[in-house]
Structure 1
């Protein structure tokens, strides 16, 4: 079945949306919403009806519906801010204000239904609409079969990955959820002190503002406690009425320190410094009157956990994580209710991240088990239960049985904190839109190159055209998109989940794309539309680039990051640097590199073996902030985008970013314009999740 209105065609059978004969990328849930609107055109539809039929009764907020409608408007409307197709009906919901022409196609054969399906991260779509299948006995059986099959696949996957996981059961269920803060900007990192009914959290007015400290006592209005030139990263409230907060001096140097604050007088006392490039979490061990926090001596070292005795000022290292690649180390932790143990999440590279239980009396690791990756939040809700969250949902770990249980996978969870009891959780839910914009060198024009609801990062232009590759989660999962010049973008399909992308680079002819995906080197052919793994003996690959008729990449071998060369003629790999190398570009005579543990951008004469400093104090974390184009180096320095002409040894500032500087920029092949990421929307609020014991609802 197809729905036609204006220049828009909604092909429900093939799950395809076209406008002006151009296929549009559309998230699966958003497409389902559009089909529902088409089936109920010119009818006012409530949010509850949409939640029941499109979200199938899943527990999601009204914000999820609003976001999906906003995405539809962005795809369909000429002016999304003044919608003419999907109208808001006051106090009711929404209405599709046109009557589509319906074209009914014949149902496919049974064999087609079995074989032609499109798989997404959270849905399985047949090329027959859900309403068509549900109207027949075969459709009901078909979807029941798919549901059972998908459940078995998920269960088997977790059994294979984690031999101690359980898919069902447990000690609590999700009961209800409601927002705690409703504000513009972003509210995040909540901490609730149940004895005094005091909530403290961080708030950022907009994407370019620094996060500040807010407090709300029971029965009172929230108020700002700290508003200064520091960027605050975590906050807690103690029984003696003081606030402890971690902060950075700015977002460039990122020097970390922890302060004690009197919320009444606003007086601040420096407690301790916590390292360089550190965004630290803090906790108070009330039994020993000590702070626990993350720290590292330099940006090239992993996070370790430290304790600081408030009375004596004694500092002690508690954990010693493994040094694995570009390792974040012990990146999340939670203190047990009795103060005896720490639950610690350690990054493990290509392996599943580990949950370590540290006995704080003996300083021994008593449990070391695979957990979940990319942990956002960690909290103890009972002495024997640890809850963890990531992009997939909420998980429970029982330290008595060493069982990991997936509790909720349909709701977005961020940082976790306890509410007013052990069955009440606080978390944050956020929305972020980042798109890629082009900037003319003369600062006369800025325009969007992508217009997706989601996060679009890492623009990389070709060497022979303005073809662009970029990373995006606009479809619901991280994928690499390729956008040929003056043509729609398409997905460079990868055969497994993409968890990390180190760098991307185009070949000289723009017919191949090189990428470091999940710490492995891959080459994509635009002709064959296929990824091929290269240098398979290297499993810690980070930066990649083409250097004439070879590929150069950085990789960690025996604990040291260096530059390696892969010949495209015979596939032989040779080592180029022996004193460090983390990002690289250049030619067969000269290469330019950054290092993993030392600031600076370096030049190496490969014939003479002579190394010299090209740009002093180039930040260690700036490996993605520079680019060699012909004989010029373009790079970000603070909020300035600069160019260094190697022939003339002349530096020039091309652009100053009034707002927050982008994560990366890339110059086009003719040097006429460059592209950078720009944050369009960044918002979050704090929600309370109420749980119920046993199987009660």
Structure 2
């Protein structure tokens, strides 16, 4: 059945809205939301009711509901500028559909009866028309056919950061272990030969092959400088084209005419990613995007430029399971389309055949039509996809190249007395964020295909069951009780280990992050940017009150001997609060320690990149390196309460290759 809403036709079967002159393809959440409103006419639906019916009870933020409502309203306004109030807000109650829902009946044209001869002629003409339509209509919307899956590389170690030209050359990094210096390799898929590109293995962090296959651009970054360099393959000539010292986390993509490079970068690890355009001839940098302000500050974190057309796509992080893909004309910089994707994205690239994107969610490969936003699943892979590129094998076939590997890590125990390391737990999964309590070890693992929290007790392993995927979530275990506290999408939860009970302490409206127990389990210290800047807050469980503690920034903190010690998100250093005034305790304390540091028996334990775990004595102000950083160290560790051992996660040797999906 189709519905008529204020002159706009809603087709649930096709998931479209239309005013007969233009058609809008609804995203999954917009469609589900509209179906709920249509089937609950004249009912005011609360946020909780919408979460139950649309998100099926999943934990979502108020921002996700607001975003979905706003998106649906925008669709109606696009078809009818006067339809802004088709969904209205009832303050303190919820939302209601503000129009009459009618069944839409298509008008049937009047006709006359046909004679048998006329009927046969019409039938023959109709059959001929259908045959011609099948033969000559381009198969742009048909499902892709995967002809074959081939292994492109079989080198020792892993291949990462893959890019490709239009003509069958691929560029990638290859390394034999987590600590070995990667080699930059150029390989011809037609000839099968490879060559090593003379990039500095100690400093090169990203590289991209141009669409013509004639040039490479890469980033050389050291603690003292950063340079974007251009390499001409035929002449082996190198030149510096931009000083990138002010940028971090750089990724690059070529404009189709090779006159410009698009850059994804951020100012520091506390700021969101932004997309820039760099003109090669003039070294002029232009900012293209301004990310939304949100809790996790990821910004516009993926980008891909079309190899043959002036098109640019970038992905904007909205929240953990909600992203937007923005499509721009890379010359005029005009936004052509914005599509909402209701799952995570970790790689994107353009198709060489038509105006569509290949997008990746963990192990799943999809293609996305940029005009309608329609998404089509192509293949489920065995391992997570790290990077993706597309080239052509033959004029009628394109080759989707993927680099993939599955990382695994073990939980280790380092003995501070004798410098010996023993393995506490090891398997083929990715085991991370270990925490100790007595003789028990807790850690997050993907051994069950999802990131869940596990307990290792007396050589026995058990999963802590939650009503949702735990995810890679920071958590804090109470020192004196069998309880732990953690944050999920801005809300804070407490889990009682002894009886496997989960309780919600407070909602996502407080935008909480990095919660720790405070003086005892009756209060929780957490950070939030609900005031406009990351500050530390104290939540009293009995009084159910929230008190702001810091004024000049705070991100992760602990109470020790009645005083608050804390780190900041956008500034290095360890601080403490004395009579409402902050004091600097330790200057050489990088904000890489935002969330992973401890205070035990007047000792602060923290990490320094390259050297390992350090101990700072609050009384003597003496600091010493207590554990040298081992190979494969993940910067996820926990010092046991007796200060005799450091429990940490360590990567195991990885293997991974480049695979090619031949698509027709």
TM-score, normalising length: structure 2: 0.74
Paired position in structure 2 for 1:448: 423
Q: Per-residue deviation at 1:667?
A: 0.5
Quick one: structure 1 residues 248 and 676, their matched pair in 2 at CA, closer, same or farther if it must change by over 3 Å? farther
Paired position in structure 2 for 1:228: 201
Paired position in structure 2 for 1:408: 379
Paired position in structure 2 for 1:470: 443
* Matching residue within 484, 489, 507 for 1:513: 484
Paired position in structure 2 for 1:524: 495
Paired position in structure 1 for 2:181: 210
Q: Distance in 2 between matches of 1:154 and 1:559?
A: 28
Paired position in structure 2 for 1:172: 144
* Matching residue within 448, 461, 465 for 2:436: 461
**Structure 1, 453-462 or 170-179: larger mean CA deviation:** 170-179
How do 1:75-474 and structure 2 match up within 5 A? 170-195=142-167, 197-217=168-188, 218-225=190-197, 226-237=199-210, 239=212, 241-249=214-222, 253=223, 256-263=226-233, 268-274=238-244, 278-287=248-257, 289-350=259-320, 352-381=322-351, 382-412=353-383, 413-421=385-393, 423-462=398-437, 465-474=438-447
Quick one: structure 1 residues 230 and 288, their matched pair in 2 at CA, closer, same or farther if it must change by over 3 Å? closer
1:662 alignment partner, SS class: strand
Deviations 1:411-455 (A, max 9, x none): 443311012256211001202111110000034321112212111
* Matching residue within 565, 572, 577 for 2:545: 572
Q: Distance in 2 between matches of 1:155 and 1:458?
A: 29
Quick one: structure 1 residues 231 and 630, their matched pair in 2 at CA, closer, same or farther if it must change by over 3 Å? farther
Quick one: structure 1 residues 315 and 447, their matched pair in 2 at CA, closer, same or farther if it must change by over 3 Å? same
> For the Cα contact (< 8 Å) 2:631–2:650, is it kept in 1?
no
Q: Distance in 2 between matches of 1:423 and 1:532?
A: 51
Unaligned runs of 5+ in 1: 1-152, 693-697
1:307 alignment partner, SS class: strand
Quick one: structure 1 residues 256 and 532, their matched pair in 2 at CA, closer, same or farther if it must change by over 3 Å? farther
> For the Cα contact (< 8 Å) 1:232–1:247, is it kept in 2?
yes
* Matching residue within 442, 446, 452 for 1:479: 452
Deviations 1:365-388 (A, max 9, x none): 232221153322211214421110
Paired position in structure 1 for 2:105: none
Q: Per-residue deviation at 1:227?
A: 4.6
Q: Per-residue deviation at 1:323?
A: 1.9
1:621 alignment partner, SS class: helix
Q: Per-residue deviation at 1:536?
A: 1.0
Deviations 1:308-356 (A, max 9, x none): 1111111111111112122111111111244322111111125511111
Q: Per-residue deviation at 1:645?
A: 1.5
* Matching residue within 569, 577, 581 for 1:610: 581
Q: Per-residue deviation at 1:477?
A: 0.8
**Structure 1, 406-415 or 206-215: larger mean CA deviation:** 406-415
Bigger radius of gyration: 2
Q: Distance in 1 between matches of 2:171 and 2:601?
A: 52
> For the Cα contact (< 8 Å) 1:345–1:354, is it kept in 2?
yes
> For the Cα contact (< 8 Å) 2:248–2:267, is it kept in 1?
no
> For the Cα contact (< 8 Å) 2:255–2:306, is it kept in 1?
no
1:559 alignment partner, SS class: coil
Q: Per-residue deviation at 1:618?
A: 1.9
- Figure out how many residues of one structure are paired with residues of the other and give that number: 524
Quick one: structure 1 residues 254 and 662, their matched pair in 2 at CA, closer, same or farther if it must change by over 3 Å? farther
Q: Distance in 2 between matches of 1:266 and 1:604?
A: 57
1:348 alignment partner, SS class: strand
1:459 alignment partner, SS class: strand
Q: Per-residue deviation at 1:290?
A: 0.6
Paired position in structure 1 for 2:511: 540
> For the Cα contact (< 8 Å) 1:466–1:668, is it kept in 2?
no
Question: Is 1:586 paired with 2:554?
Answer: no
Quick one: structure 1 residues 154 and 512, their matched pair in 2 at CA, closer, same or farther if it must change by over 3 Å? closer
1:293 alignment partner, SS class: strand
* Matching residue within 649, 661, 670 for 2:621: 649
2:154 alignment partner, SS class: coil
> For the Cα contact (< 8 Å) 2:490–2:507, is it kept in 1?
no
Question: Is 1:551 paired with 2:524?
Answer: yes
Q: Distance in 1 between matches of 2:283 and 2:575?
A: 41
Q: Per-residue deviation at 1:565?
A: 0.7
Q: Distance in 1 between matches of 2:342 and 2:321?
A: 10
Paired position in structure 1 for 2:117: none
1:209 alignment partner, SS class: coil
Deviations 1:248-273 (A, max 9, x none): 32xxx596542122446755422224
> For the Cα contact (< 8 Å) 2:208–2:254, is it kept in 1?
no
**Structure 1, 571-580 or 230-239: larger mean CA deviation:** 230-239
**Structure 1, 235-244 or 521-530: larger mean CA deviation:** 235-244
> For the Cα contact (< 8 Å) 1:255–1:277, is it kept in 2?
no
> For the Cα contact (< 8 Å) 1:458–1:677, is it kept in 2?
yes
Q: Per-residue deviation at 1:220?
A: 4.8
Q: Distance in 2 between matches of 1:275 and 1:571?
A: 46
**Structure 1, 529-538 or 300-309: larger mean CA deviation:** 529-538
* Matching residue within 625, 633, 654 for 1:682: 654
Q: Per-residue deviation at 1:616?
A: 1.2
Deviations 1:75-96 (A, max 9, x none): xxxxxxxxxxxxxxxxxxxxxx
Deviations 1:214-236 (A, max 9, x none): 11234253232235321422332
Q: Distance in 2 between matches of 1:237 and 1:287?
A: 9
Paired position in structure 1 for 2:124: none
Quick one: structure 1 residues 177 and 276, their matched pair in 2 at CA, closer, same or farther if it must change by over 3 Å? farther
Q: Distance in 1 between matches of 2:204 and 2:307?
A: 29
Deviations 1:477-502 (A, max 9, x none): 10011223x3422111121233441x
Quick one: structure 1 residues 612 and 155, their matched pair in 2 at CA, closer, same or farther if it must change by over 3 Å? closer
Paired position in structure 1 for 2:462: 490
Deviations 1:67-110 (A, max 9, x none): xxxxxxxxxxxxxxxxxxxxxxxxxxxxxxxxxxxxxxxxxxxx
Unaligned runs of 5+ in 2: 1-53, 59-64, 76-140
